Structure 1
Amino acid sequence: MNRRTPYLAATLSFGLIALLPATASAEIIPGGSRGESKPSAERNGHTLTSRISYSGSTKGTSGKSSGGFAPTGNWTPPACWYEPRSPAEFKKSVEDMYTTTVNTPGQHSYAKTAAGQYRDMYKDGKYKNYNLDKADEGAFWVSVQDEDRWDEPGAWSCSELPFWVEKGKAPQVKNSVTPEVLAQLAYNQVDVPKTEVSLAPAGNTKVNLPTWAWLDEATFKPVSVTASLDAGGVSLRSTVTATPVSLHIKPGTKDATLHPGSGECAFRGGHIGTPYAKGDADKTPSCGVTYLRSSGNGSYALQATLTWNVTWTGTGGAGGTLPTGTFGTTQNITVQEIQAINR
């Protein structure tokens, strides 16, 4: 299998080996392939993975993961970013990469040359022995990719070679980790409950009979994720909080009347809609739909999409808002004609 590391891909992209064929960067060393699902530094010792950790309502922790919470519009969290490493940590990663490259049987000579040139920059070039004598003065900042998004073009846009930043100074490159960037990365880890609304009647209803819709107040409440980074002498925290604000209903057919007419049911008093109670059959629900035509032998796909407002707070009193997120599900509704008997 052809594999690459982010470091060598960046090295080649900057023309250190300008005459290499375009396929060279895909054949450097074992350790992580573009398109491979989850490369692991812990597994192979060569591919850098992020030092950022996440806690709270993260994907997979609730047992009822949405798997589809997504920002509105065209914005997406970064697929790659820069974070710090101490000189000793950086030296180990480069030396491990170099050793593996030159000792891999059948490795191309240009791959070995590239690895050697890359190593020389930090060992005997500009930085002199990886700046080990300046360990208390700063850190190397390196590019890291979202392990779940390696197949996206944006994952390869952080093409700056590892660079030195003095302690107390901010890196002057896009997507270097700040409290805000950390919040954006936490956004991508938020897990929200599946948007399955309670319906009355449930699943089967009648033409011209209001169908009530509501959400369980205990389930749909604000959720938070905290992202933390402690590496290279840098310590940052950011917490993202998603708060449900409205539910939008699409009945799955034009032959229906929405309640309210916009189909947008807002949160009021901590809940959306009003649970159906015995004796409410003739009332108009605060959130729901009345179907005007039978679904025949099939059903209508009622789509319920919940919108969440997203805010964040971070180290040093930083904070703000991020794009709203949505998650929707579809429920099949069978609508029958009301049968009347003439005597």
Structure 2
Amino acid sequence: MPVTGSRTALNAGTAGLTLALSIALSGPAHAGEQPSNTQGASTEQKGGSDGTGIYAAARVQYSGAVAKNGGAGNVTPTDVNWAPPPCWYAPYLGAEDFRAKMSGDLEHAASLPGMTGHAGAAIGETKRHYEDGYGWTDTPGYEDYNVDKDGEGMFWAGVENPDEPDLLKRGSCTDLPFWVDNGEAPPPRYEEAISPEILAALAYQHLRLPDTEVTLRPEDTTKVNLPTWAWLDETVFDEVSATASIDVPGFALRATTTAEPVSLKLEPGTGDAVTHPASGECAIDADGSIGEPYAKGKADRTPPCGVTYFRSSGEGTFDLQATITWHITWTGTGNTAGTLPNGTFANTQTVTVQEIQSINR
């Protein structure tokens, strides 16, 4: 019959897991990510062994407009308080594999020097939790690692976000691995359990926006007091998407995050200049373009998007920064959808500004 303990058992069990799975393991303890190797291509879903032990089959896959080699993308959220999840819980191992992994790791940890007192007791509590049905409030125990339900679900475990710089945040998903039946949602108390919303945020984090350069006229070199026109054609200024997904037997989730360009902000690189419009914010046009291409005969007009410099750049150049703002939305499994903070990406272009030479007769 399952044994129920107090809430303090959670701390003891977690300590045992930390000792057994973080200090003395022969292989990785957490489910991991599997990034795309190249931009715009996803990698095959795999499970099995990595040479040091069994690892989780549930790995986050990225595809679409994502950074190469699984790194973070180039989007800067406009909301400085927003951040992608530092960790989450995801399917880890089936019952048979989990028993092989956990029982071996616990046995190894218990054999290490110094594993007495509270440390040894914590390891013992963890064994009881998975082998003898020892549980506590809201956290039931398991009989023989749930092997009688093998194939009917999986144990879930914490996953660290490798792109989270804060070590404490990255390792904050420390709950003991827990069982979830196929087709069922994790218990509500696991707020960090993988979901379409979390996948959408991860897709956002890996999204790679295009390195689009603004077209300038005059190109490269302009004149003092002469308006410089700036624009982006709709053919080079389009929405981009990135997808994050998890797909293992009995469990599959995906979310696609889409960035749509909405405006362009110009910063001349010097205080001796004005932007057009004065705010520097060039809105997107109905046809998806920004600004207006320069054409012969427009030299005396004020461009709808551009900059006028009031002094020469001398022997150097000015760094004209063009920042594109993107409106970001997502859709996911189960007809889920939502919005994420707008994102920005800036390009810098060098501009040479010369004095207009005049001839006095």
Counterpart in the other structure of 2:253 = 236
Instruction: Tell whether 2:167 aligns with 1:162.
Output: no
Report deviation, 1:238.
1.5
- Residue by residue over 1:160-217, the C-alpha shift from the partner in whole angstroms, topping out at 9 and shown as x without a partner, is 1112234524432122112222212221121110142122222221111111112243
Moved more, 122-131 or 261-270: 122-131
* 8 Å contact from structure 1 (residues 66, 194) kept in 2: no
In the alignment, structure 1 segments of 5+ residues that lack a partner are 1-12
**1:316 corresponds to:** 334
Question: Which residue of structure 2 aligns with residue 144 of structure 1?
Answer: 159
CA distance in structure 1 between the aligned counterparts of 2:96 and 2:67, rounded to whole angstroms: 33
Alignment match of 1:14 (pick from 2, 5, 11): 11
Alignment correspondent of 1:266: 283
| Whole-angstrom CA distance in 2 between matches of 1:325 and 1:174 | 25
Which of 309, 317, 323 aligns to 1:299? It is 317
Cα separation, 2, equivalents of 1:31 and 1:200: 59
Distance change >3 Å, CA 257–CA 18, structure 1 → 2: closer
SS in 1 for 2:170: helix
Identity %: 48
The whole-number CA distance in structure 1 between the counterparts of 2:21 and 2:95 is 25
The code of the aligned residue for 1:262 comes to: S
TM-score (norm 1): 0.80
Aligned residues: 322
Instruction: Indicate yes or no: 2:336 matched with 1:331.
Output: no
Amino acid paired to 1:142: A
Match of 1:179 in 2: 196
2:3 equivalent in structure 1: none
Query: Is 1:110 aligned to 2:115, yes or no?
Result: yes
Question: C-alpha root-mean-square deviation of aligned residues, in Å?
Answer: 3.6
2:85 is aligned with what amino acid? P
When residues 314 and 203 of structure 1 are mapped into structure 2, their CA distance, relative to the original with a 3 A threshold, is: same
**Contact kept in structure 2, 1:195 and 1:327, CA below 8 Å:** no
Would the aligned equivalents of 1:139 and 1:232 in 2 still touch at CA under 8 Å?
Answer: no
1:5 — aligned with what?
Answer: none
Gaps of 5+ in 2: 1-9, 36-46, 134-140
Please tell me the residue identity of whatever aligns with 2:196. Answer: P
Over residues 245-301 of structure 1, what are the superposed CA-to-partner deviations in whole Å (9 max), with x where a residue is unaligned? 111111112211111111111111111122223333222222110111122233222
Indicate the residue corresponding to 2:84 in structure 1.
77
CA offsets per residue over residues 12-40 of structure 1, 9 Å max, x none?
A: x9344869xx999974345569xxx9999
* Structure 1 pair 191–18 and aligned structure 2 pair: CA distance change class (3 A): closer
- 1:49 touches 1:145 (CA, 8 Å); kept in 2? no
Offset at residue 98 of structure 1 (A) = 4.7
